[in-house]
Structure 1
Amino acid sequence: EIEEGNISRFFSYIFGSFETLAQNKNLHFNVHQNYRSLAAKFDADKLEKITTNLLSNAFKFTPTNGRVEVNIEYTPKDTTIDVVLTVSDNGIGIDSQRLPRIFDRFYQVDDTSHRNYEGTGIGLALVKELVEILKGKISVESEVNKGTTFRVAFTLAASQQKNGSTEPIFETTHTEMAISMLLPEEGVHDQNLAPTDEQPVLLIVEDNPDLRLYLRKIFETQYQVMEANDGQQGVEMALQIVPDMVITDLMMPRLDGFGVCERLKTDVRTSHIPVVLLTAKATLTDRLEGLGLGADEYLQKPFNKEELLIRVKNLLQQRNLLREKFSLRSAALPSAPAVGNEVSQQLDNQFIERIRSVIEAHLSESNFDVEGLCKELKISRTNLHRKLKALTGTSATEFIRKIRLQRAAQLAQKETMTVSEIAYQVGFESLSYFSKSFQEEFGMLPSEYGRLVE
């Protein structure tokens, strides 16, 4: 959408937003425009995204006490204005062999498993696409350990609007979002870690803020999206919130995707969670290692958005089938869940069996509740709820009640006890509530159940 206004002031809004970030990162940030006021017609949204992504990249790859400089040269003509935007830094630079690929989506400047700098994500790829839409050109020069310079040249239509006339208020939401992602301690940690059961909870573990944002946009309409900016934080958050699904990058600082997968799949609290590994490393050895550690899916970057959506949906459907297999309506537990590797299968079975044995040991105690169960299991109420919900589709309170009623059905079938005796035996103090609960569960009164089963 083309707007008419002061192009110099528009860019000043964007540059001003980065001042705080520069102070926060102890960077020298210098800006120069050869016109302080110049009326033009321009696409504010596209220019904001181009400028913000170039600056974000410069700030991202420039170490503390480094320098980032922006220069804009305007050349007004009769009906047009030629513009050259230059963004320079003295950061880590880019090797000449890698330089031709930096506009590829998800390209990693540092491709080690525990890299110190994340990749260019979708930022530079988006910049190139937007510059071409504006019929402009973008070029880059870089030298390792000396820095990088981007130049964007494009032409704007001149405006007849007087420079001193009323200016529109420009929205710079993309800039604000980009800056918040460059401050991960504020952008990722301040999340509401109390997910509800209204939508599946998806945890994205990715150190590249551009890719985190891209993944969030893909899933946020159908899932509750949580974010972690490296593998270690991802594991900590998974143990805290017990998500329904984890999508993790492979190459990350502190703990890589293999480590994330191994820790989640070997911890009883998280062993049931499907894990999707995203990586540019797609050798057979890497895939086998990931799958061997329990990864449920392994997708190569750049991935197809629709394929990722379908794979995540299918994994959650498989998890729903697993719930049915763990249904307490069947007398015996399944020998193995529908998905997951052998270790996680065993952990899930052991977890359910452990819960059942604890509840059965306290069956006649009417005051034995979720708090008592959590204490016996040494697990938080939230973790117990999320794990049980994932495996059985029931809450902890419902699970305890189902175990009581299942045992009541077995006693009713023997016909050696009265209904009142059965009720007290399985921890119900109210006979009317017991009969009502039994009928809701089995479709008949306990007095009728034994005769019908026979």
Structure 2
Amino acid sequence: MEKALNTDLIQHVEDVKPFILLVDDNEDILDFVSDDLSEKYHVLTAKNGVEALVILHQEIVQLVISDIMMPEMDGFELCEKIKSTLEFSHIPVILLTAKNTMQSKIEGLELGADAYVEKPFSPEFLQVQVSSLIKNRNKIKAYFSSTPLIHIKSMAYSKADELFLGKLQETIHKNLDNPNLDVEHLAENMNISRPTLYRKIKAISDLSPNELINLARLKRAAELLNEGVLKIYEISELVGYSSQTHFGRNFSKQFGMSPTEYINSKQAERNINQL
């Protein structure tokens, strides 16, 4: 059942046409690459890093492709800003460059670049790089959502992401017994603006803040069910559900099995491991 749910979630996120930001000061390159990618992606363009950052604040972008040699702000500086800024640190970056020196590659990777493509490049090769990065992110999102005991930090793509997700989970867990916990409470407790928090959660998990809160409740419930100490109705109350029936329905919908079935499956695993 988990495998089927994973497939459904991956298909859902792949059905939505991703937004890609292409950054290059060469108009011919912008036109050529935009035309090549536009069949599968919404392509936004910028002529330097400064313009790119403006667009990133306005749009939810799934991937950035950037030249290195550009005026005003080059690709290295843009990559560094993306990877060190909480709002954007989850976004994969592909660097394009005519520089084929090892030092240039090392510098790009040290700044957090996810891939490095040398000019002149094959359009098919770039297509594969883009597709691979986006598909891998989608698989990670789907696996996190459908697997009860996988930690939220599994979706971290950078140190900034890891710190953010750790703080987010800690904040949610401290307030799990509050049935009214919502994005407003989270934003206030994390000292982040509501729009920024919403955009970050949506981009990194493909979930709304309220969906992520509910998923965190269910994952904590799975941990408690796995421990085998408390009754199902006690766990239901501990994670903020006023109704065990509602809890059971949500648990089944999320993980493809009822709380009782989950307990039995974990017990069966333990029995097999003891043989």
Point out the structure with the larger helix share: 2
1:220 aligns with 2:38: yes
Q: For the structure 1 residues 285 and 400, does the alpha-carbon distance in structure 2 shift closer, same or farther, using more than 3 Å as the test?
A: same
Question: Aligned-pair distance for 1:330?
Answer: 4.7
Query: Aligned to 2:249, which of 436, 445, 449?
Result: 436
Query: Aligned to 1:318, which of 136, 139, 153?
Result: 136
Deviations 1:13-63 (A, max 9, x none): xxxxxxxxxxxxxxxxxxxxxxxxxxxxxxxxxxxxxxxxxxxxxxxxxxx
Matched residue, 1:87: none
Q: For the structure 1 residues 450 and 292, does the alpha-carbon distance in structure 2 shift closer, same or farther, using more than 3 Å as the test?
A: closer
1:395 aligns with 2:213: no
CA distance in 1, matches of 2:255, 2:123: 44
CA distance in 1, matches of 2:102, 2:94: 16
Deviations 1:192-211 (A, max 9, x none): xxxxx821110112233333
Deviations 1:92-111 (A, max 9, x none): xxxxxxxxxxxxxxxxxxxx
TM-score by length of 2: 0.78
Q: For the structure 1 residues 442 and 198, does the alpha-carbon distance in structure 2 shift closer, same or farther, using more than 3 Å as the test?
A: closer
CA distance in 2, matches of 1:275, 1:418: 44
Matched residue, 1:272: 90
Question: Aligned-pair distance for 1:358?
Answer: 1.0
Matches within 5 A, 1:30-429: 198-323=16-141, 326-327=144-145, 329-333=147-151, 344=158, 346-380=159-193, 383-412=196-225, 414-417=228-231, 419=233, 421-429=234-242
Q: For the structure 1 residues 335 and 357, does the alpha-carbon distance in structure 2 shift closer, same or farther, using more than 3 Å as the test?
A: closer
Question: Aligned-pair distance for 1:250?
Answer: 1.3
Q: For the structure 1 residues 387 and 335, does the alpha-carbon distance in structure 2 shift closer, same or farther, using more than 3 Å as the test?
A: closer
Deviations 1:373-401 (A, max 9, x none): 23333445555455445544433222211
The structure, 1 or 2, with the larger RCO (C-alpha pairs under 8 Å, 6+ apart) is: 2
CA distance in 2, matches of 1:334, 1:408: 14
SS of the aligned residue for 2:99 comes to coil
Amino acid corresponding to residue 24 of structure 2 in structure 1: E
Tell me, which stretches of 5 or more residues in structure 2 are unaligned? 1-14, 268-275
Deviations 1:252-280 (A, max 9, x none): 22211110011111123222211111222
Decide whether the 8 Å contact of 1:325 with 1:334 is kept in 2.
Answer: no
CA distance in 2, matches of 1:444, 1:317: 26
SS of the aligned residue for 1:315 comes to helix
TM-score by length of 1: 0.49
Q: Could you say what the CA RMSD is over the residues aligned between the two structures, in angstroms? A: 3.0
SS of the aligned residue for 2:88 comes to coil
CA distance in 1, matches of 2:232, 2:129: 52
Decide whether the 8 Å contact of 1:325 with 1:337 is kept in 2.
Answer: no
CA distance in 1, matches of 2:207, 2:59: 17
Amino acid corresponding to residue 362 of structure 1 in structure 2: N
Matched residue, 1:35: none
CA distance in 2, matches of 1:382, 1:218: 33
Amino acid corresponding to residue 113 of structure 2 in structure 1: A
CA distance in 2, matches of 1:372, 1:212: 42
SS of the aligned residue for 1:258 comes to helix
Deviations 1:267-320 (A, max 9, x none): 232222111112223333222222221112222333221111111112223323
Tell me, which stretches of 5 or more residues in structure 1 are unaligned? 1-196
Decide whether the 8 Å contact of 1:326 with 1:391 is kept in 2.
Answer: no
